[in-house]
Each structure stands twice: as structure tokens, then as C-alpha cells.
């Protein structure tokens, strides 16, 4: 528990964090990696370069500051981040390193405004926040299907669109009797030949059926013409018979079973966990009223056509559509109002831009927040309003 003076000091820094938060977190990462280059084996360097990770961390710090007197208000967000940390194998000892460099960055950016009293308050607050994450993540480690990164053999590799490949991997000792949940992701650990560090990426599980192996999908990525390090390595270099390391399934974007209609809505490669949900839904309760909407560029980018058709043929479909942006087919408020049942549970996945757009439309239609479940491909805190 924090004393009232500490709480007041933390809350007093909120305006400064709103203005300088991202500068602080960029400074934090620069300093931390200079002192601890081994941590580059854990952090996504692409997200660092694009500014996604500093922005997400700044949002997290701001949320913690605003709710420092009631961290339970952001517990859901702590859990979401905790899943990512467990999947990446973030351990308690890493929190001391992060805390040290976060305080240094706050002082470096805010300078004289970061008085000794404020730095002391943030040191106390950080320890409370870190303890909350460590406690949540320890439970996730205890419940994980396996510990650390384990080797899996690639037994299948197939193109499911012009830029997405589905990988099927096996490790019989681990997969025997394993149950995965629709919406979960695994984390791949590889070392591309041109990179000095290990590289880790999260990829959604395609199917809850493990009879042929564990399946996940990878889109070939590029940013400003620069090929994505891991996705291109997996597409071009990893072949059937090779081994890659995976950490256990993680994530809180999970399909819930009830009697309400379910809406499964995806954009681009966001179809991957949504497909697993469709698979699980028809296997569990094919009579549940279902809406399926997939937004993609064109027929060439439309993934898993055969699987979608197979599952929808078994489902109680209220509405199903694939919208091609190349043909000016868009998800609009009018479209959602027409095709989404009033009392539906809605599951969304896609890019951050896609998610921001659709969530905004749903909010405009006064859809209850508790009925909207989402998983963007990117740091999730960037979509959280604090």
C-alpha cells in the first residue's frame, strides 16, 4: 500500500506524462539497451524502430499513474500485458532493470521538474506496479502448458493466401493431450542469419484441432519497403523438417460460450484467431446464431477460403460476407447496424488502424463495451483509453 503523499505526488505527474510520456519511454529503452544489450533477445526491435513499443509503454505508465490509488481499475490491462510477458519469458529479475532505467529516464527528460520527492514516489509506485505484474505473471507461468521455449518440428507449410503461410508443427511429448483455446497465440523464437540477436514474434493459432499438429499463420510483413525480419525468415528460410522454438499458448482473447449471437469480424491476417473461433464454435454449438465478416484487399489476399466455407456450412449463419477494399467494400456504421444482432457478443481482430475504426463505429452504435472483445496485431495498450 502507498501512503497518501506518494499517491498525490504520482497523480501530480499525470500532466507531465501526458506531454512527455513517449519521450520518457524512448529515452528509457535507449538507456536500458545500452546497459543491457542482452535484452534485445527479448524485445521486438521493429516495434522499437516504429515507435509502437515506446507508445504502448507510455500509455501503460500513464494508466498506472492515473489509477495508482486503485490499480484494480486497470487489472484487465495488466492481465493482457502479463500474457505477452509470460509468452516472451519476462522474469521477475527483469523488473528491477526496467525500474532502474525508468526512473533515470523520468529524471533525464523532466530534469528539475523531477524533484527527489517525485523520483522517490515513483520508485515506491513502480515497485507496487511491478509486484502486481509479477504476481499475475507467476500464475500464468504456473498454468502454462509448458515452460520456457521448446523445440517443435515443422511438419507442414502451405500458402493460404498470396502473403500468408500456415505452419504446422509437432512435438509429440508436448502436444499429446494438450488443449488449446480459440484466440490464443504462440510465440516463435528464431535467430535469422542476418541478425545478431534472437527474434521473438507472436502468431495466432489457426485451429483448436491438434490432430495434425499445432497450426499458426504468418503474414509476410514489410515496413516502408524493408522486409519484416521474422516473417520473411519464416517464409523463405524455414522448411518442413526444420525445428523452431515455441513458448506455450497465451492470451486472453478467448471465445466465450453462451446463448447470445456471436459476431466474428476480422481484417487481413486478423482472420487467424477468428478462424480458430469459428472452428471451435461449430464444434461446440453449431446452432448458435453467427455473423461472419472478413475484410481484406482482394481475392488474392483472402486467406483460408476452403476452411471458412467448410465451417460456415455447419453453422447457423445469420450473415456472412467477405468485403474487398479493392472493390470499395467497407465496414461502415450502416453496414454494422444492419447486420449485427442487437444482443451479440462481438470478436474482432486486425491491425491497430482497423481496430480503431471498427471499435469507433461500434461505440457510435452504443454497443456495450463488455460485449466487444478484441485482439490487435501490435501493442494492445495503444488502443486502451486512459
For residues 88 and 90, give the distance between their C-alpha atoms in angstroms, rounded to a whole number.
6
Residues 219 and 159: beta-carbon distance below 8 Å: no
- Is 137 a residue of the active site? yes
Q: Which of 95, 203, 233, 347 is catalytic?
A: 95
Q: Which residues, including other chains, have CB under 8 Å from residue 289's CB and lie 6 or more apart? A: 261, 262, 316, 318, 341, 344
Q: Are 303 and 220 in contact (CB under 8 A)?
A: no
170: β partners: 153
C-alpha 1/C-alpha 13 separation (Å) is 19
Phi, psi of 79 (to 5 degrees): -65, -45
Q: Helices then strands (H, E): number in the chain?
A: 13, 13
> 100 CB contacts (<8 Å, ≥6 apart)?
none
Of 206, 217, 164, 160, which Cα lies nearest the Cα of 183? Answer: 206
Give the torsion sign (CA, 13, 15, 16, 21): positive
**Catalytic one among 29, 137, 185, 375?**
137
Q: Distances in Å between the alpha carbon of 70 and those of 65, 81, 312?
A: 10, 18, 44
Nearest to 77 by CA among 215, 208, 199, 252: 252
Bridge partners of 159, per DSSP, are: 165
Catalytic (active site) residue 143: no
Which residues are designated catalytic? 95, 137
Amino acid at each position: 500500500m502507498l501512503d497518501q503523499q506518494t499517491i498525490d505526488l504520482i497523480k501530480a505527474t499525470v500532466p507531465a506524462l501526458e506531454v512527455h510520456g513517449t519521450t520518457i519511454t524512448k529515452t528509457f529503452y535507449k538507456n536500458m539497451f545500452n546497459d543491457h544489450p542482452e535484452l534485445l533477445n527479448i524485445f521486438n526491435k521493429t516495434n522499437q524502430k516504429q515507435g509502437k513499443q515506446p507508445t504502448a509503454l507510455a500509455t501503460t505508465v500513464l494508466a498506472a499513474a492515473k489509477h495508482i490509488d486503485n490499480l484494480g481499475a486497470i487489472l484487465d490491462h495488466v492481465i493482457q500485458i502479463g500474457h505477452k510477458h509470460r509468452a516472451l519469458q519476462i522474469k521477475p529479475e527483469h523488473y528491477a532493470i526496467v525500474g532502474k532505467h525508468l526512473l533515470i529516464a523520468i529524471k533525464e527528460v523532466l530534469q528539475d521538474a523531477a524533484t527527489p520527492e517525485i523520483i522517490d514516489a515513483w520508485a515506491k509506485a513502480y515497485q507496487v506496479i511491478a509486484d502486481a505484474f509479477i504476481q499475475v505473471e507467476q500464475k500464468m507461468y504456473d498454468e502454462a502448458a509448458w515452460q520456457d521455449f521448446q523445440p517443435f518440428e515443422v511438419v507442414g507449410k502451405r500458402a493460404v493466401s498470396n502473403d500468408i503461410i500456415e505452419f504446422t508443427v509437432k512435438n509429440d511429448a508436448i502436444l499429446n493431450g494438450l488443449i488449446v483455446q480459440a484466440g490464443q497465440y504462440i510465440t516463435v523464437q528464431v535467430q535469422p542469419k542476418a541478425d545478431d540477436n534472437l527474434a521473438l514474434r507472436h502468431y495466432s493459432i489457426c485451429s483448436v484441432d491438434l490432430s495434425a499438429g499445432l497450426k499458426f499463420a504468418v503474414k509476410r510483413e514489410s515496413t516502408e519497403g524493408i522486409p519484416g525480419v521474422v516473417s520473411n525468415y519464416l517464409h523463405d528460410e524455414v522448411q518442413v523438417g526444420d525445428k523452431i522454438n515455441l513458448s506455450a499458448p497465451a492470451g486472453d482473447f478467448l471465445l466465450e460460450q453462451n446463448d447470445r449471437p456471436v459476431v466474428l469480424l476480422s481484417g487481413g491476417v486478423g482472420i487467424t484467431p477468428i478462424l480458430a473461433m469459428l472452428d471451435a464454435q461449430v464444434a461446440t454449438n453449431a446452432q448458435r446464431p453467427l455473423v461472419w465478416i472478413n475484410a481484406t484487399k482482394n481475392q488474392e489476399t483472402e486467406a483460408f477460403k476452403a476452411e471458412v466455407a467448410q465451417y460456415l456450412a455447419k453453422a447457423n449463419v445469420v450473415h456472412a460476407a467477405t468485403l474487398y477494399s479493392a472493390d470499395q467494400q467497407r465496414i461502415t456504421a450502416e453496414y454494422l447496424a444492419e447486420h449485427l444482432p442487437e444482443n451479440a457478443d462481438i470478436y474482432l481482430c486486425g491491425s491497430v488502424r482497423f481496430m480503431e475504426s471498427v471499435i469507433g463505429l461500434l461505440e457510435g452504435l452504443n454497443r456495450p463495451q463488455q460485449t466487444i472483445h478484441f485482439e490487435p496485431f501490435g501493442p494492445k495498450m495503444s488502443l486502451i483509453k486512459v
